[in-house]
Structure 1
């Protein structure tokens, strides 16, 4: 006998699709405001070692042991008017959880984190009829595959478990954030796609990169290389978060607004941290962040904004007030096809000379090419290229 459909499951799926459609519409027509820092607000409530199940600093454990603390952070941001919050799952991935010897709990902690945020978002929506959304946070983890710290497959599968848990808990979108290594970023994106295929739930997939004060990602990737490598991977939005304040992000956003085919996001820190005897202090006040985000929306046409380290509900309250009614700039990007290495992108421009792209043409990595070059055997060099 064929099994009967589960009405509650069907209702849940249709409600999720409705929320997702509403989020896509909002991102396409106005600026959507997300929340600010999570970790510092959790730590400010002084959870005990027992709350952490003896795993000190593992904030994701609080999704299970102290959901009241996590819930209070989401409530604080919704109270000041943000449209969406990120889940407390930044470290709910294989490499981070493996350091606590609880890698098998990635799905559990991801689902519980998303469920808490979902409940708070729905409660606020029921109160005033205004839709709120949940962004499922997929952090970078603690291992860099490009440097051989961990295999690509291990990371990808761990991120898939992370994403499946977030979708099961009710996330309206997935945000691959604070990415530092393009190979790690790709593993996150592929893991998220696999999760959506496995669960049958399709949500927007956002990618947010972290650029250092050097102007590149941690491993030296320029903004052009990142865009060329990531944009074709089926993502819905790209942008920046963490590492620096808005002042250091301006030129990267300028590049993205000129070249990116997909919408943009930006969630900066409250300035560059200043080390004091009491720890790191973020100097950018709420008015400064609001000024910067309003400028970014007007100049670069951002669709999603928020805050990262050092930002508080007060920061986001002023951002919400400042961008309310502001129409994002209309972007007219001019994408430039090209190929990217880890470090930079090379546009497909044909000048008077031919252009050769080949991994083998490297005097450091190929003894054969180096010897041919030193001996002046140019035909051999061209053949290898």
Structure 2
């Protein structure tokens, strides 16, 4: 099966899973993944309805099937088993002609220095789920409703450690248009396409008009296909606290031409979208051609903002040539888009860079000819850096830059 976008035609994804399962009888407060395993017919009926509506791919109901989420229900010891069972249910529901994606999501954790988890811990949590999804035979991986950039990076690194199947990432933003940690969508796009994501986009967050506006703002910088799974508008909250969505299928699908014109190759729905919304979307996309990715400029990013460069910056002396890494970073208070050059000379430099990186508001260029130091620094850096190998021809330096999406100059 090859459902990957390649011929200019949009790929239709599915709609909401959790909300529709609640309509089918799933009570509030239960573990959704366990409920699906115990009530498989509800999931299979829903996913078959999505396929009949026009979905080329569905997400397996593994959204919260990671050890962190499952631990709340005392099920963390069954992580691998549950992922395999849930993927098998989706495969049984849709058959071999429709792609099944391994669904992963935000963990609700924070990494040091803002929380207690290390970035290594986050990668390992995702790796455990990715391994199970890979063994279950998913056709692609989707990290969706991602709230923080470090989670997207960790999920991609985890997936790439166990599989070469396509990896999509779909972030969600707050009302200010940024991710929970303050990351601009363009910065997230820069980092994720640099690291080799196969598609980037947004889901949940808001309705199709708002999602389309964000997609249009990042499209000129996209080098990979874009993805959109908006809600069916904004919900109305009932007296019992439940959410109700009232956007009609026709109104929802009316944004398809706008999205495809901006390069959105993968389209589906999130909260409030039912099979009828997907049917309307598929019909609206039938005559649409997706604009191909067109960005050529290189652009770096911090964990918050992106910086576009027509050409790589000229090299200059590092800020820490005569100071410690920590002191040099502390002195870099500017927020003017100028590249900050930092030299990695020792493990201490790499450790201080990791600890103090969030003080940096400008793009950076790391200078080093030691591959191990570069790998450690780029693994930890929650942005996209320039790298200069100081004249070294060591292929390990280029490999580290490629793995983490750094721009080698």
Distance 1:82 1:352, change over 3 A: closer
Distance 1:349 1:87, change over 3 A: same
CA distance in 1, matches of 2:136, 2:145: 22
Whose helix proportion is higher, 1 or 2? 1
Report the counterpart of residue 158 of structure 2 in structure 1: 191
Change (3 A) 1:355 1:87: farther
**Structure 1: runs of 5 or more not aligned:** 1-18, 50-55, 126-130, 197-201, 374-380
Could you say what secondary structure the match of 2:43 adopts?
helix
1-structure distance, mates of 2:311, 2:13: 43
Q: Is the 8 A contact 2:318 2:342 kept in 1?
A: no
SS of the residue corresponding to residue 169 of structure 2 reads strand
Deviation string 1:116-169 (CA, Å, 9 cap, x unpaired) is: 1111221xx6xxxxx311111111122233631533222212212212222222
Distance 1:239 1:120 in 2: 26
RMSD: 3.0
Q: TM-score, normalised by structure 2?
A: 0.73
Distance 1:77 1:350 in 2: 45
SS of match in other structure, 1:35: coil
Task: Report the secondary structure of 1:176's partner residue.
Answer: strand
Contact in 1 for aligned 2:145/2:172 (Cα 8 Å): yes
In the comparison of the two structures, how many residue pairs are matched? Answer: 332
Which one of 10, 19, 28 corresponds to residue 40 of structure 1?
A: 19
Q: Does 1:334 align with 2:301?
A: no
Q: Does 1:210 align with 2:172?
A: yes
Query: Is the CA contact (8 Å cut-off) linking 1:144 and 1:184 kept in structure 2?
Result: no
Identify the residue that residue 23 of structure 1 maps to in structure 2: 3
Question: Do residues 283 (structure 1) and 253 (structure 2) align?
Answer: no
User: Could you say if the C-alpha distance between residues 382 and 154 of structure 1 is closer, same or farther in structure 2, counting changes exceeding 3 Å?
Assistant: closer
Q: Deviations over 1:16-67 (max 9, x none)?
A: xxx1xx223x444411101100001112222469xxxxxx421111343222
What are the within-5 Å matches in structure 2 for residues 154-193 of structure 1?
Answer: 154-193=121-160
- What SS class does the counterpart of residue 255 from structure 2 fall into? helix
TM-score, length basis structure 1: 0.78
Q: Please point out which of 140, 150, 159 is paired with 2:106.
A: 140
Q: CA deviation at 1:108?
A: 1.4
**Partner in structure 1 of residue 186 of structure 2:** 224
Alignment of structure 1 residues 59-138 onto 2, 5 Å: 59-122=32-95, 131-138=97-104
Q: Contact conserved, 2:316 with 2:341, CA < 8 A, in 1?
A: no
Quote the offset at 1:115 in angstroms: 0.8
